Structure 1
Amino acid sequence: MLDEVDRGLIHALHIDGRAPFGRIAEVLGTSTQTVARRYRRLRAEAALRVVGLPNPDRAGQTQWMIRLTATPSTVQDLAQSLARRADTSWVKLASGGTEIFAVIHASSDTQAVPTLLLHDIPRRASITAVSAHCLLHTYLGGPTAWRGHLEALTDEQQQQLEPPRATDPPASRPPASAPPASRSHAADTPASRSPATDEPTSRPPTTDTSAPRPPLTRADHDLIDALRRDGRATHADLAAATGVSQATVARRLADLRANGALFFDVEVAPVLLGATTQALLWMTVQPGHLDRVATTLAGHRELALVAATTGRTNLLANALCRSPADLHDYLTHRLGGLDAIHALETAPVLHTVKAAGPLTPATSFTRGN
Structure 2
Amino acid sequence: MDPLTLDALDRQLVHALQVDGRVGFGRLAEVLDASDRTLNRRYRRLLAAGVLRVVGVPVARALGQADWLVRMRCLPHAAPEIGAVLAADPDTSWVTVLSGGAEIACMVRAPADSLVLRSLPRSSRIGSVTAQRLLRPVAGADGWPGRLGALSAEQVRALRETGPGEPGPDDRPLFDDEDRTLLPILARDGRAGWSALARATGWSPAAVARRVEQLRRGGALVLEVDVEPALFGAPCGAMLWLTVRPSALAGAGRALAAHPDIAFAAVTTGSTNLVAFVACSGDDALYDDVLLPLGDVDGVDHVDLSPMSEMVSRSVASARPLGRPRGR
Normalising by structure 1, we get a TM-score of: 0.79
Map 1:198-277 onto structure 2 (within 5 A). Answer: 204-207=164-167, 214-277=173-236
1:122-176: CA deviations, max 9, x gaps? 2x1211221111112222345x100112121111222222243xxxxxxxxxxxx
One-letter amino acid of the structure 2 residue matched with residue 18 of structure 1: R
Query: Given the superposition, is the C-alpha separation of residues 300 and 59 from structure 1 closer, same or farther in structure 2, using an over 3 Å criterion?
Result: farther
Aligned residue for 1:47?
51
Any idea what SS the aligned residue of 1:125 has?
A: coil
What's 1:158 paired with? 156
Change (3 A) 1:212 1:290: farther
Distance 1:205-1:146 versus aligned 2 partners, 3 A rule:
closer
**Other structure's SS at 2:311 match:** strand
Alignment coverage as a number of residue pairs: 316
Larger Rg: 1
Cα distance in structure 1, aligned partners of 2:22 and 2:161: 10
Residue number in structure 2 paired with 1:278:
237
| Cα gap change, 1:304 to 1:37, in 2 (>3 Å) | same
> Are 1:91 and 1:355, in contact at CA under 8 Å, matched by a contact in 2?
yes
The CA deviation at 1:108 is 5.6
2:269 & 2:176 partners in 1: Cα distance?
30
State the shift of 1:332 in Å: 4.2
- Name the counterpart of 1:302: 261
Select 1:312's aligned residue among 256, 271, 279: 271
- Structure 2 unmatched ranges of 5 or more: none
Partner of 2:133: 134
C-alpha spacing 1:219/1:212, structure 2 compared with 1 (3 Å): closer
Q: TM-score scaled to structure 2, two decimals?
A: 0.89
Cα distance, 1:27 vs. partner?
A: 2.3
Equivalent residue for 1:88, pick from 74, 89, 92: 92
Among 97, 100, 114, which residue is 2:101 paired with? 97
Contact 1:205 1:255 in 2 (8 A): no
Partner in structure 1 of residue 34 of structure 2: 30
The residue number in structure 2 matching 1:21 is 25
Q: Which amino acid aligns with 2:33?
A: G
CA distance in 2, matches of 1:212, 1:252: 8
In structure 2, the residue matched to 1:72 is 76
Residues 1:52 and 1:119: Cα distance change in structure 2 (over 3 Å): closer
Is the CA contact (8 Å cut-off) linking 1:93 and 1:101 kept in structure 2?
Answer: yes
| Cα shift at 1:205 | 4.5
Deviates more, 1:86-95 or 1:19-28: 19-28
Q: Percent identity?
A: 40
CA distance in 2, matches of 1:214, 1:283: 33
Aligned residue type for 2:124: A
Task: Give the whole-Å Cα distance in 2 for the aligned partners of 1:106 and 1:141.
Answer: 22
User: Aligned partners of 1:241, 1:212: CA distance in 2, in Å?
Assistant: 22
Is 1:3–2:7 an aligned residue pair? yes
Q: Is the 8 A contact 1:276 1:321 kept in 2?
A: yes
1:121 maps to amino acid: P
Q: How far off is 1:299 after superposition?
A: 2.7
How big is the shift at 1:56? 2.3
1:149 to 2:135 alignment: no
The amino acid across from 1:228 in the alignment is: A
Q: Output one character per residue of 1:43-93: Cα deviation in whole Å (capped at 9) or x when no partner.
A: 111431111112223332211111112223422111122122211123111
Contact conserved, 1:284 with 1:341, CA < 8 A, in 2?
Answer: yes
Q: Deviations over 1:187-224 (max 9, x none)?
A: xxxxxxxxxxxxxxxx5353369x99653211223223
- Taking the aligned partners of 1:102 and 1:83, their CA distance within structure 2 comes to 9
